Chain A
């Protein structure tokens, strides 16, 4: 057994730092009470920024370092995904600070639960062993269940937390069952050892175990047919929590799925190809058609996220370096666009109450033109209209699909995104051509403006220089194969 020294733990320093600062802030919060909510939120943002700095400062020379008995791995791929996760968390907390005060959820535990969920997601991304996969996933999910129900006196928030918890517990059960079948067959929980064992021989039991694991993870990314919880949870949870759900956990779950499919279960690619193909098709269809009739903008975004998961899955089905790199680009741009859209949804307040129906946006172009034009650009981008960033993310994914000969999937994706364009454009139509209703409360504070501004800048200016993101994701993926 290798001896454990402090310097050998270098790859896990960002997580260790976040865990320690989380504990410290918890003590401060307990001593000072809920008045310290704003301080703890900003302190969490700073802690996340420092974690990014530590992570990027280490750099990797294109090599995977596995530590802690092979349970935790660090390479360019994990660094890229963790960068996405951490910046998503920073955006979420920055967007929600004012919302917490507006909506009277002044609890110092809120940013801390986000922080602990973040540690769980980073462990998921870096998991190299079924045990660390499971503990990371549970740390993340448990924090998210509590966050969904954090407005406990509100029936819908409590209901969404309960629904998420029960379904999440079932998916955890399936995951554990699958892991135990895989462990039973191969005698190991380590990803690499499972990979080599399965490459040599296969049995029905291992395939079934793998399908159980995949079903549980499909639940986490809300791919159809495991998507039932998404609209209800998105609608019921406080909007700031919905922002978190929309931005971050799926990135971590995608990282986990990609690593699982290409390292331990690479030998089962014939089996998972069909499963992922179906998940992708079904998610795109449901995402496009079910969103048509929604009147609540949070539900609309829920179905939109289901559809977008379908598009991202096309890249996984296409496989190979180009396919996975396209998934990473897609996830990064989707996160940027969603952050902007939710920044605006969080600002939809009238008489001190949040409103969330699409009809509440009527005539926004006359009441607050800046808001309306920003949301219009973001919606154009989400529906994939050139030259905005959303067009490129879809284009890259479809291109990868065509290169792998998946013509049907690519054509189908284009068709569903045409259907999807209808409901994005409907929001624009409501904003610009409907009779104006009452104005929104005017106050929007600086952090939210900055996040929305950054999101808009990326969406509009991505066309000028798309190569850095594409190059970095190609570099990140090269560690995977």
Chain B
């Protein structure tokens, strides 16, 4: 009974805040609603017994991604009003495509059935959560059975990093940078010139 109430509470708030994300006028409010949606989704995962994913959602999405969004929204001077101007003309087409997709999905899930052999096909069935924690269960298969996908994901992240640097890093000429080695290597003779000043003549 209590779990049902919490489920409906979490999912209702998730849905409402998701709607607010795309309708809020102020982009900062959008990001804040996004964070609320993430927290509630994490709550739903906890109800499902997937505490690891719930915590990851809070740490990664709320802690990093959403804060990054907030930075972008606040630091960059993007006029969201201008961006939104042209968007309305695509709404009918978008609704049409979305509606067709929704109809198709409903018709698929209405007659959904699992293959009879799907029970035996499962390569790594979910273990009993009473005997093993989420994190341990994930660790046992992530670095053994799925090590290949894991390593290639690492390569993908490397390429993403290279790409971000290639496309955004610029060398700005004329910027004064601190160079510790140069500072340390500086001697008295580099920086100062000692001149004998004879009285009455100046330099």
Contacts and interface: CB of A to CB of B under 8 A. Distances in A.
B87 to A, nearest CB: 15
A88 interface: no
B167 A187 contact: no
Contacts, number: 114
A186 B119 CA distance: 9
Contacts of B166: 107, 109, 113, 146, 150, 152
B122 interface: yes
Interface stretch (A129-137, A251-259, A309-317): A129-137
Given A72-B148, A185-B115, A193 B162 contact: no
If over half of A's interface residues share one DSSP class (helix, strand or loop), that class is named, otherwise mixed; here it is: helix
Contacts of B114: 184-185, 187
A187 B115 contact: yes
Interface stretch (B7-15, B54-62, B72-80, B151-159): B151-159
Given A69-B146, A119-B155, A132-B148, A193 B167 contact: no
B48 to A, nearest CB: 17
Contacts of A77: none
Interface in A47-93: 68-69, 71-72
Contact of A193 (B112, B121, B145, B156): B121
B148 A69 contact: yes
A112 interface: yes
A188 interface: yes
A113 B163 CA distance: 8
A193 B162 CA distance: 37
Closest 8 CB pairs of A and B: A187-B118, A146-B163, A187-B121, A188-B121, A135-B152, A68-B148, A131-B149, A69-B145
Interface of A: 1, 4, 19, 26, 68-69, 71-72, 107, 109, 112-113, 116, 119, 123, 131-132, 135-136, 138-139, 142-143, 145-146, 149-150, 152, 161, 181, 184-190, 193, 196-198, 200-201, 203-206, 208
16 contacts: A1-B145, A26-B162, A71-B146, A109-B165, A113-B159, A116-B155, A135-B156, A139-B156, A146-B162, A152-B167, A186-B117, A187-B117, A187-B118, A189-B123, A197-B115, A200-B115
